[in-house]
Amino acid sequence: MKQGNIVCEPNSSIGIENLFGALVEREEKKMDVIIPTRDMGNYLSPINIGTGSFEPMPYSGLAFTAGSELEGETRTFIPSEFFLERFGAWADISQTYMRKMIGKVKVARNNVQESYVELMRAHDTARLAEGNGVRGNDLDKVIKKENEASQMFNYYSSELNNLNKFLFEQVSHFFDYPATTRFDKDGNAPAHSRQLFRMLKNEGGDGSIRTMLSSKYKLLDDMPAIDALTRALENDLSGGGFYLDSAHVSNTSTRMKFVNTNLAVEIDGHPVNYMLDVVNSEVGSTSFKINQGYFYQWCTNGAIRQQITRAIHVGLSKDEFHSQDTLKKEGELLWAQIGDAVQASMTQETMDKMAVEINNAKAVKFNQPELLAKDVTKKFKLSDYEGNSFLANLNKDSHQFGMNQWGASNALTTVAKSVKDYDRATELEQAGATLLAVPESYFTKHNKEVHVVPAGDVWERMES
């Protein structure tokens, strides 16, 4: 199974402890603000801090300064890439257009940073040559290289500054003229005219704006989610054999994968255990989901099989009509229901059903791995690296699995461990389980019939 940015160890509580530590650190920085769209300028004002800087802020040179209504020591907030996409959708800017714009800014920023490194290297080389007494044509070549590096840096800096300026103008316009301007007879903005800004603050430094959401967004945050899960699974966690095997906390989501060694079936002489996959987002990139799957101990491959339960982030409006106590009870009911769903799924009966599927898959053979790899690459939109790795795994592990559907599924989940991106690895773990469930015909069409000539016929032909 792919390991995330949280250190976990098999059959240990260290994974849960490290995950709690990372989330507690983030909890201390959280700041949620409901901002009426017509009063945005009193809370945040866009500024362009990228101009003239060789090391621009994340994603762009765009930033926001805190207005009179925003309390706290943090006075400057850097927008995340995800926030800019959300803002674009709210401001009726095409999401495709906004993504392309953000992509251009990221490319330009990388070009500036790389060209700056080259400029510094060329500058050091030129100064060193002068200090060592290099003269004539040799010195001219070194200085020429330095000038070329300087021109390239200036070109990319200008490109980035222009993109930053354009992005700043787009955002500034919609802060001045909000998309939602309908108010009641008393001049109050309705609930849909208030936006939830989820932010992180820093003492003595720049904060960040994580996302912009409807005020009806249900706060199914990571800490209460993990707290509810650990309470629901308290007996399993304390009894041993149930542990956090992998976890990853990113800017847009948190993912946790638990393994239960107390629930197992034996395949090819090796244990296959129950796996629980939990994903959540505090910024609206995904709903809260719990999936079940299996973990093959022999090759440490994890496969995500199917969804157990799901909760969307839509609930009561966070305004004067609903108290914090009401909102809290709304969340507690949900966590209780989720705990029940997990307990109902995590049984030996579930594992026995998985064992039947795996054993049936072992009987489905193929003998043309190259053609299967082409089909799988197309079906799951694998990159060249992923497709080639899948084929290599098919051939490398054929002595263990044989050329069958179960082996193909494991070949794909093995690829997941080698890719850099954790979310992509999770997609491949889901694809591996999907491949285990496709119809038999998907594999048998890759069987090439081999014509066998009886030995007697061969000798007769040789004699004649």
Q: How far from the centroid of its chain's Cα atoms is residue 159's Cα?
A: 29
For 125, counting Cβ atoms within 10 Å of its Cβ (0-12 exposed, 13-18 middle, 19+ buried), the class is middle
Strand order in the sheet with 288-296: 242-249, 254-267, 270-280, 288-296, 301-311
Lowest mean pLDDT among 32-36, 56-60, 226-230: 56-60
The domain segmentation of the chain, as residue ranges, is 14-25+219-357, 30-201, 363-444
Tell me if residue 36 falls in helix, strand or coil.
strand
Residues 17/6, Cβ–Cβ less than 8 Å:
no
The answer to whether residues 405 and 436 touch, using CB atoms and an 8 Å cutoff, is yes
**How many CB atoms are closer than 10 A to CB 48?**
17
Instruction: Report pLDDT digits (tens) over 359-403.
Output: 999 999 988 889 999 999 999 999 999 999 999 998 887 777 778
Least confident among 67-71, 382-386, 450-454: 450-454
Q: Taking residues 109-125, report their average pLDDT.
A: 89
Given a contact cutoff of 8 angstroms between Cβ atoms, the answer to whether 342 and 276 are in contact is: yes
pLDDT digits (tens, 9 = 90+) for 303-325: 998 888 877 665 444 444 444 56
Instruction: Judge whether 390 and 376 are in contact, CB under 8 Å.
Output: yes
